[in-house]
Structure 1
Amino acid sequence: MNSSGSGEWLECFLADVDIRRLEDVSVRISPGRKLTVLDLLKAWHGHVLRFEAEVGLPDSGRTVWGVWDFIAALAIRSCLSRGIKKVDPDSLEMLKRALGDVDSKFMKFTENDEFEIALRLDGGGRSDDEWWWGRIPRVGPIRREADQIKSAFPD
């Protein structure tokens, strides 16, 4: 998604003052690397839109994202969840509305992952609050790849 589209989407939920506050809150994503809550929100939004758009694509496309891209997006959502705890209370409600919009889109094309493929590939250890780790696309390239991986796991 282009930054213009992301900006238009953000403006539906966040005022300029909220955006500035979210730019001031950073989250460690790896040793020596931080991203702002705003960047994480934009990344989660962009990933969800792309996954949703690719549901009907064939697996053969070289640019189609797979299960590891899906896991990376879930990790982004987990970082965002940690960052929410640091957000100024005056901007928290607006952030939660924007995040709720993305999470709702995510829920629509995913279903409960009874086999916990994403969790298994990630190595587990996620909190129960991180509900997104228990989801998997219902159909599409990511689901087909996940089903192939699932067949390699012992029951």
Structure 2
Amino acid sequence: MTEDPAQRIRDAFSDAEREELDRCRHRINDEKSIGVLELLVSWALHVRKIDEDRAKPVTDRHVWGAHDLLAAVSVRSFLARCLERLAEPLNGKVAGQIAHHDEHFVSITRVDADELRGYA
């Protein structure tokens, strides 16, 4: 099995499933849209990067910050909207992939119980 998470996700789906996932798209604007498989890979890679950056000093210019976290959560929201439009059994298969990355995300983040509106 490949170590590349994006390829591992793509390999979990047949050619026909990948085509169906590409047809189900989140529309960004009049000229751009993103397919479910691209969103799923993006969510997985965002979660991975957030996790990897936790061990790095905040002074590292490559470490992601709050805006990147918001981008990740936006990708996850787009994915949720697309998932609602997928029929079974593909819906369940994608949901299982999402759940794996959601669990990882939850394990490396904390609930914002104080509903902080900014950061220092």
Q: What amino acid does structure 1 have at the position aligned with 2:97?
A: A
Identify the residue that residue 65 of structure 1 maps to in structure 2.
64
Q: CA deviation at 1:44?
A: 0.5
Identify the residue that residue 133 of structure 1 maps to in structure 2.
none
Q: CA RMSD in A?
A: 2.0
Identify the residue that residue 107 of structure 2 maps to in structure 1.
108
Give the structure-2-normalised TM-score. 0.86
Unaligned runs of 5+ in 1: 122-145, 149-155
**Does the CA contact (< 8 Å) of 1:25 and 1:87 recur in 2?**
yes
How many positions carry a matched residue from both structures?
118
Q: What amino acid does structure 2 have at the position aligned with 1:21?
A: E
Q: What amino acid does structure 1 have at the position aligned with 2:68?
A: D
Q: CA deviation at 1:89?
A: 2.0
Structure having greater relative contact order (Cα 8 Å, sep ≥ 6): 1
Higher-strand-fraction structure: 1
Give the structure-1-normalised TM-score. 0.68
Identify the residue that residue 6 of structure 1 maps to in structure 2.
6
Q: CA deviation at 1:31?
A: 4.8
Q: What amino acid does structure 2 have at the position aligned with 1:89?
A: E
Aligned pair 1:92/2:91, yes or no?
A: yes
Unaligned runs of 5+ in 2: none
Question: For structure 1, which segment, 29-38 or 46-55, has the greater mean C-alpha deviation from structure 2 after superposition?
Answer: 29-38
User: 1:27, 1:9 → 2: CA distance?
Assistant: 19
Q: CA deviation at 1:66?
A: 0.6
